Structure 1
Amino acid sequence: MSEQPAPYDMYTAATFDEAGIPVLLIGDSASNDVFGNKTSLPVTVDQLLPLVRAVSGAARQALAIADLPFGSYEASAEQCFHTAVRFMKEAGAHAVKPEGGEEMVPEHVGAEITRSVAVPTVGIGARNGCDAQVLVWQDMAGPRTGQLPRFVKRYADVHGVLREAAQNFAADVAKGTFPAPEHTF
């Protein structure tokens, strides 16, 4: 089974690559987690290309897979091909996947599909019946706060760590202890 966190920037991609994550999925969830949209529907190819370029450029071992967002492939096989070529040629994606499908597939159906097809299957909240699992890193590591989907397991509290760092920085600036002589030219 393979893990697939969804990074959107070079530092996160390099960190996951260094951790040995074999596949990095640059998903249409960037619509929500990068651009602040309520759904993944508004994100465009032009918005995703720089994110895919950042991730694929930082990954040394991991496979960088780009989502083809809604509206970028459904009209025809030719449209799908041309969109895939853009992601591979302009952004360095190693592979692409069309976004979409059934919202909720029961666990036993996911496992049966995995056994029945010759292509890898990826689940999100589908137990371990698929070949790989994907989680949006903002959900998995905790920059995102509030209600999380049931399928998310929180592995860290990046929000708390970042908030504390920002508070410490602001306090040091307010006290005049930053920048100190060793932090200036």
Structure 2
Amino acid sequence: MSLILALALQTAASPGVERPKERVPTDVRRVTIIVRDIENSLQVYRDVVGLKVNYDAVVETSGVALPAGRPGAKARLVLLNGNDPWIGWVGLMQWVDPPLEGPEDYPKRMTFGGHVIVMNTDDVDGRCAAAAKVPNVTVTAPPRLQQYPGRNGGPPIRVRGCNFFDPDGTLIEMNQILK
């Protein structure tokens, strides 16, 4: 089982996983994905996945702290969240003035520096079918049942899930944890 999947499945309701006695010093707030076409990406993260837009603005970039674009360039930043108001957000950022140069091909395979976002959902079949209809989304695995060994001798972990690349190369694993 991948480390990413293992971390995604560690919730308070998961057998064999206990709430930490002490908080760790860091929360993962969000991942921001640089995109070619923010409206197309919103079709994935807002319309298919079901995240809620909580911020949408054009910002001036330094080209230094975030080493992309040139100093003073303008980028549209959209932040989306799931059920937690503090952690687990996804940011989408598109350079609009001037546009950011990038690869023309849409990804079909992962390589070094690639990443996977694992998300739990209540309707994996419906969300995966909707994702397949978004332009430039590549489905790599349709919905299927997966079973992983349980934690600490617990029962097996049963997951129905699918995988697809968003239009800019982020691999999304949509899961529905089964009982």
Larger proportion of helix? 1
> Shared fold (TM-score greater than 0.5)?
no
Larger proportion of strand? 2
* Normalised-by-shorter TM-score class: under 0.3
The structure number with the bigger radius of gyration is: 1
Calculate the TM-score normalised by the size of structure 2: 0.27
Calculate the TM-score normalised by the size of structure 1: 0.27
